[in-house]
Amino acid sequence: MIAVIDEGSFEAAADELHVSPSAVSQRIKALEQHLGQVMVRRTLPCVPTPAGEAILRMARQVVFVEDETLAELGHSRTGGLLRVAVNADSLATWFRPVLEEAARWDGVTLRLEVEDQAHSTQLLRRGDVLGAVTSDPSPVAGCRTESLGRMRYVPVAAPQLAGRFRTADGLDWARLPALRYNDKDDLQLDFLTRAGVTGTPPQPQVPGSEAFLAGVLAGLGWGLIPQVQLGTHLEEGRLVRLSGDVVDVPLHWQVWSIDSPRIEQLGDAIRRAAQALDL
């Protein structure tokens, strides 16, 4: 089943496994008949059903434990692969010391998936990653969770942009362009909704944490920027604060609930990085 989902089709999975497509199909059908539920949606690419996600996660955990055991015997097949989901803002700021630590680990390969903190648990449900930095405190089945702190966001804009939309009554929030990271980014619009702003302003889009900050600095739109990422931009006048309000996004470390020295090593590094920045 892992091969079908990772490769995207029964035919590609058969090529990867060096068997016939019919053999792959028969194994999946046998699994579905045994469990009494459909495991794989036969789309292109193939995707797991909710029931299939649970089986897929379990299968990946079994493979991980097997590889870790083989590593102890000097026969690891994957070099200690650790797949982790992390949001772009964390990766651009407090998470970087984790990369420095991981670079010194023997026999470990760190592979990151960049995903919005509100959506990264979906990768955990499918077993695509073994851990995720997420804003969701509710643990995915088969996972444990712990608080890392919170990421504070400050509403800022380039002075020239803010000046164009300033009125006698204050900022014209309904017309002031609100920069967006991607289609999943509702941080700015949620901020406006809580402030009672009606209407939807223009929403330029710039993906990438550093690029998003560059877009705000250039005056493409206002944005909520992590406080730890602002540096001296406010003090030196490159940005102005638009409101005294802030947005605090809680961050949690969700990870598979299995006994693994490598997972514990990774978790320790993540805790140290979060504590060092006093999230």
pTM of the model: 0.83
pLDDT in tens, 105-123: 988 899 999 988 778 888 9
The single residue listed with the structure tokens 């140290």 is 272
3-state secondary structure 129-191: CCEEEECCCCCCCCEEEEEEEEEEEEEEECHHHHHHCEECCEECCCCCCECECCCCCCHHHHH
pLDDT of residue 278: 79
Q: Domain residue spans in the chain?
A: 152-249
* Cβ count within 10 A of residue 254: 24
Residue 91 CB-density burial (10 A; 0-12 exposed, 13-18 middle, 19+ buried): middle
- The dihedral built from the CA positions of residue 203, 205, 208 and 212, taken in this order, carries a sign that is negative
pLDDT value for 68: 81
What are the pLDDT digits (tens) for 55-77? 998 998 888 888 888 877 777 65
What CATH homologous superfamily does 152-249 map to? Periplasmic binding protein-like II (3.40.190.10)
Structure-token match 């059908």, residue found: 29
- Mean pLDDT confidence for 127-145: 92
